[in-house]
Amino acid sequence: MTDLGHQVHALIPEYDFLPEVEELGISWDLIELSRTGMDPRSDWKYYRQLRQFMAEWKPDIVYSYSIKPVIYGSLAARASGVPMIAAMITGMGYLFTGETIKQRVLRQVASSLYRRGLAAADRIFFQNPDDLALFREQGIIGPEDEAKITRTNGSGINLERFPSSPPPMPPDEPVTFLMIARLLQDKGVREFVRAAEMLRSDYPKAQFVVVGPHDPLLPHALPADELEQWKVNGAVSFVGGVKDVRPFLKECSVYVLPSYREGTPRSVLEAMATGRPVITTDTPGCRETVVDWVNGFLVPVKSAEGLAARMKIFLRQPDLIDVMGRNSLGLAGDKYDVRLVNRIILEALGLVEPLPEEPETSQPEWPHPQETAQSASTRKTREQLQQKHLQKQPQKELDQQTQKRQEQRQNQVQTAKQSQKQPNEQKQKPATRDERIEATA
């Protein structure tokens, strides 16, 4: 925006400040914001601070992201008479990834506040279609909000800041699996550790690394004693928080994020730009980044066994690392280049003229990556990689998988017969994607 001649000022929570902000060439201020809980006094103080800053700057556009800035930023901007109010939904977070009593209560409160905040917004950006569907289902947005909605492919990735590099591969270097995340339960750290423990006896040279800080005050933070036990066991190396993840991405072979839910995970986009295959979960936000068997694998949520099975494929066939890594880089450039994403946002905010519309195609408006990749060349790539994997599997495992598929077919036939005998009863649903992956792992 500064390149277009606009003045940009950022309000940054004290806990979220990064030194890189000073390199952006914008003005900024720190603001007090409690990232956990919903203390009315603390939130009211935050709202008042927002009103004071807006009265001082008199902005033409307010652009907020993450739950509290979206809610209170939008309300403060409306009360301050800001002409254009924009909100970016970056993911559902802690409140929407569990079913404890506390989470359910807070989810109701958050949904109500979201409803008020987004009613004040002029533009609403969603990073994945699942979050948009959830907001519609929960009544957080209604038919009157549809004209406000713009969907983006995450926040994009700067391909120059994260240049591609050849991945470490045997026989010169061991296969290294990397995970970058805060040490929270819903990031899937526990599943990553368990998968590593399953594999280390058969693959002692393989390395498993986790980069990310541990803050015991955060909701769903991993217990400190469990973390210490993992460090003692030694299956996984815990690095802690770092300022720059690029050296770790360069040194890894495969990137792994077994998260329970995301908006669009930035760390996955950074790994893709670096040219690394990705193993992540078949869950909102994550599933959009991987075309199964093309640039990585999708695994069931909370399944250490499914994760270990996909890791094992790269350990047995390390040549897939380079092939799928190149596919990741291609997808990052075609879909997640920050220049493309920023263009969509700037157009929605009215800061640039829309590009001429391209002729309509048969592809959906927002296809799932599995649909995006249904070209003949992509199908051929997937089939070749799957066939190559099957050729290298031990005969015993192939026999086991064949038996599982035969049992599945027999069950399907039996279900079909029962459905014919009882036409008025609800038919059994087909196996989910998670169940199919577990069955073939």
pLDDT digits (tens, 9 = 90+) for 191-202: 999 999 999 999
Residue type, 268: V
In this predicted structure, the answer to whether residue 430 has a pLDDT above a threshold of 60 is: no
Instruction: Report which of residues 353 and 282 the model is more confident about.
Output: 282
Instruction: Report which of residues 225 and 377 the model is more confident about.
Output: 225
pLDDT at 365 (0 to 100): 39
CA within 13 Å, CB half, 301: 16
**Within the chain, which residue ranges are assigned CATH 3.40.50.2000?**
2-151, 176-335
pLDDT digits (tens, 9 = 90+) for 301-356: 999 999 999 999 999 999 999 999 999 999 999 999 999 999 999 999 999 888 77
- CATH class for domain 176-335? alpha beta
pLDDT digits (tens, 9 = 90+) for 356-409: 766 554 443 334 444 444 455 555 565 666 665 655 555 555 455 545 545 655
C-alpha distances (whole Å) from 57 to each of 17, 63, 77, 80, 419 are 21, 14, 11, 11, 66
The answer to whether 282 and 258 have CB atoms below 8 angstroms apart is: no
Instruction: Report which of residues 24 and 225 the model is more confident about.
Output: 225
pLDDT digits (tens, 9 = 90+) for 10-24: 998 877 666 677 778
pLDDT at 23 (0 to 100): 75
Closest CA to 190 of 205, 207, 175, 210: 210
The CATH fold of domain 2-151: Rossmann fold (3.40.50)
Least confident of 176-180, 220-224, 275-279: 220-224
pLDDT at 318 (0 to 100): 95
Which of the four pLDDT bands, split at 50, 70 and 90, describes residue 433? very low
Section 413-441 average pLDDT: 47
pLDDT digits (tens, 9 = 90+) for 245-254: 999 999 999 9
pLDDT at 386 (0 to 100): 63
In this predicted structure, the answer to whether residue 81 has a pLDDT above a threshold of 60 is: yes
In this predicted structure, the answer to whether residue 34 has a pLDDT above a threshold of 80 is: no
pLDDT at 108 (0 to 100): 85
The answer to whether 230 and 199 have CB atoms below 8 angstroms apart is: no
pLDDT at 207 (0 to 100): 97
C-alpha distances (whole Å) from 114 to each of 152, 334, 336 are 20, 32, 27
pLDDT at 164 (0 to 100): 96
Closest CA to 268 of 368, 335, 174: 335
High-pLDDT (> 90) share of the chain, %? 59
What's this model's pTM, rounded to 2 decimal places? 0.79
Sheet holding 123-126, edge to edge: 61-65, 84-89, 123-126, 149-151
Token couple for 220 = 């769903």
pLDDT at 316 (0 to 100): 95
H or E segment and range at residue 378: helix 376-392
Section 32-38 average pLDDT: 74
